[in-house]
Structure 1
Amino acid sequence: MILEKQKKIISPKQPYFVMNSSRYYKAVVMNYGISHFYAFYNDGAIDSSVFAIPDGCIDIYFCCDEEEPNAYICGTVFHPEIAFTEKNKYLFGVRFLPGNSIRFKNAAMSNFVESKIPFLDVIEDRELVEGITSSRNFNYQIKLFMDMYLKLYYNSKVINKYENLDKFLIANIIKNVGQIKIKELADETNYSVRYINKIFVQEFGLTPKVFSRMMRFQDLLSNLNNLELDIFDTDLTEIAMRLGYYDQSHMIKDFKKFTNTTPNKYIYSLRKAQYNKKLIIV
């Protein structure tokens, strides 16, 4: 088996959102700090929870329900956690790139880690929420969000004296797909490892080591999504070596920590749920 050349951009995945939907629409952006937009209908047909896995990202999702519309800002999780309890609902969302977020006035990414906060508690734009939640038109919803977001993106002034350092750390961890030692980052910036850890936690709510593990895990997901169902140990061994794990058992242990399942069982779940048929790129 020949693996694809290592990519330098992480496209964060939440595969269980796709698996537990009837159709999952995705519009890729990879700009302005945004990874992509998505929309799906959770019809409750599959007897499985819709849960989120670690991705180092912030999501904003809108539940488009006539009786109980709502919108939330959700930060990354450290372990698999239930993301949606809404059944028979249409949901529209935006996923930011790892380490990026909407430019909130009084909140950093660290405020949202393992949290689910009402959108209106942070951004008082009821017109936007009403516009998005009253629609089922994916492209129209994207337009409404971007009209609001780009104004904040270009006009907001981020008061953060560590901004350049933050960007450097995130960019280098992603560039190396998590395969970089914190000591190397410290040496590159002429700061101590302790200081790097302190600033990273302060801004992002997790250590650079944990964020690096999430990026390597997300890269692993991309590799597994392209494997056939009947894989051999040689495939997993090759992937483990390429992604910087000590060995195959280390990779499996890490994967299980982030998903509560093994790579083999995960691949089986993808096929059983007909993942590729449900994922529609627009």
Structure 2
Amino acid sequence: MISKQNNIIVSPKQPYFVMAASRYYKAVVMDYGISHFYCFQNDLSENSVIAVPDGSIDILFCCDEKEPYATICGTVLQPKIVRNVKNYFFGVRFLPGQSFKFKNIAMKDFVEHEVPLLDVINDNALFEKITSSRDFNYQIQTFMTGYLKFYTTSQASDKYVDLKKQMLQKINDTGGQIKVKELADEAGYSVRYINRVFSEEFGLSPKLFCKLMRFQHLLSNLNDFDKDIYDTNLAQLAIELGYYDQSHMIKDFYELTNTTPGKYVHSLKEKEYKKRLIVV
């Protein structure tokens, strides 16, 4: 499958977490700033797993009976090995670039960091309800009940809300194939202003964010390959995704995953990625 450059939806993916779980359940939302909910049981032998850049924030709940915890995880900027604890996890992955107004922390503080949820959102009841359950639907409903009020308040108090939506829409529509000058021209602001607002509100420069979105779009395409991947596939895909050439695409992919597209597709098949991922 080669992507068509229209109706693009960049949905953030962490494929190595799927491959490290026996079953990985996903409930797609694509609204209210949320990409999807997920849950998985880590019961395999892998002691570590790789997180890849996705431009997104996750809230991850570890539902351990004795020592539950919840963290807000910002995007990594390069592949990062994280400990793979055997337990049941429930997570919320937000849409790329989705930002919130917290009183004591800026979006840039989440980038490449994990922050305890209760240090940012003082809601012990929500924490206890979610971490004491292993019912995926109940956890989703519980989270949304508490989250929608916060989301509405956050949107209403955000003076950049319309500008951010416009910029993110353009980046999403192009799969990251847009220059900062084009974003500025579309919005009617200077490049300097767009760079400042983007960095303050999302914690990343627009150039870097676009790079991560193009990478995530590339991941989506590779995940859909049903047959072996050849140089002709990669060359065509590189052109369609806006890379200079195949070498440029492979270089970027290696930088963000520590592997090549060909080896990545092989891993998907070897680990039976599509069988482990269950969309509900």
Query: Common fold, TM-score beyond 0.5?
Result: yes
Count, aligned residues: 280
Q: Identify which of 124, 130, 137 aligns with 2:135.
A: 137
User: How many angstroms apart in 2 are the aligned matches of 1:272 and 1:157?
Assistant: 43
List structure 1 segments (4+ residues) > 4 angstroms apart after TM superposition: 1-5
Partner of 2:235: 237
2:43 corresponds to:
43
Deviates more, 1:51-60 or 1:102-111: 102-111
Where structure 1 has 5 or more consecutive residues not aligned to the other structure, the ranges are none
Confirm or deny: 8 A CA contact 1:102 1:149 kept in the other structure. Answer: no
1:98 alignment partner AA: P
Q: State the shift of 1:106 in Å.
A: 4.3
Alignment of 1:256-267 (within 5 A): 256-267=254-265
Quote the sequence identity (%): 61
* Equivalent residue, structure 1, for 2:59: 60
3-state SS, counterpart of residue 270 of structure 1: helix
Q: Go from structure 1 to structure 2 and tell me whether the alpha carbon gap of 1:171 and 1:124 turns closer, same or farther (over 3 Å shift).
A: same
Q: What is residue 91 of structure 1 aligned with on the other side?
A: 89
* Contact 2:155 2:161 (8 Å CA) reproduced: no
> Secondary structure at the residue paired with 1:98?
coil
2:74 aligned residue: 75
Does the CA contact (< 8 Å) of 2:2 and 2:221 recur in 1?
A: no
Provide the TM-score with structure 1 as the length reference: 0.94
Deviations 1:146-180 (A, max 9, x none): 11001212244654433322222222111111111
Instruction: Output the CA distance in 2 between the equivalents of 1:26 and 1:152.
Output: 23
Instruction: Check if 1:281 corresponds to 2:241.
Output: no
Offset, 1:50: 1.6
Q: Please provide the CA RMSD for this pair.
A: 1.7
Q: Which whole-Å CA distance do the structure 2 matches of 1:99 and 1:2 have between them?
A: 25
Cα-to-partner distance string for 1:70-91 (whole Å, 9 max, x where unaligned): 00001111101134x2522111
Aligned pairs for 1:200-215 within 5 A: 200-215=198-213
Q: Which TM-score applies when normalising by structure 2?
A: 0.94
Assess if the C-alpha contact under 8 Å between 1:35 and 1:95 holds in 2: yes
* Counterparts in 2 of 1:164 and 1:77: CA distance versus 1, 3 Å: same
Q: Report the counterpart of residue 8 of structure 1 in structure 2.
A: 8
Which secondary structure state, in structure 1, belongs to the residue aligned with residue 85 of structure 2? Answer: coil
The Cα shift of 1:102 comes to: 4.8
Distance 1:112 1:247 in 2: 33
Q: Which amino acid aligns with 2:43?
A: D
Q: Which SS does the other structure have where 2:28 is aligned?
A: strand
1:118 maps to what in 2? Answer: 116
| Higher alpha-carbon deviation: 133-142 or 108-117 | 108-117
Partner Cα separation in structure 1 for residue 154 and residue 210 of structure 2 = 28
Bigger drift between 153-162 and 35-44 goes to 153-162
1:231-252 residue CA offsets vs partner (Å, 9 max, x unmatched) = 2100000100000000000000
Unaligned runs of 5+ in 2: none
Could you tell me which residue of structure 1 aligns to residue 24 of structure 2? 24
Instruction: Flag the structure with more relative contact order, 1 or 2, with Cα contacts below 8 A and sequence separation at least 6.
Output: 2
Give the Cα separation in 1 of the matches to 2:178 and 2:194.
14
Q: Structure 1 pair 94/102, CA: closer, same or farther in 2 (3 Å)?
A: farther
Quote the offset at 1:4 in angstroms: 4.8
In the TM superposition, residue 5 of structure 1 has moved relative to its aligned partner by 5.5
Quick one: structure 1 residues 5 and 202, their matched pair in 2 at CA, closer, same or farther if it must change by over 3 Å? closer
- Gap change, CA 1:156 and 1:232, over 3 Å in 2: closer
Higher mean C-alpha deviation, range 4-13 or range 116-125: 4-13
The 1:89–1:164 alpha-carbon spacing in structure 2 relative to 1, beyond 3 Å, is same
Deviations, residues 158-204 of structure 1 (Å, cap 9, x unaligned): 54433322222222111111111111112222322222112111111
Displacement of 1:52 after TM fit?
1.3
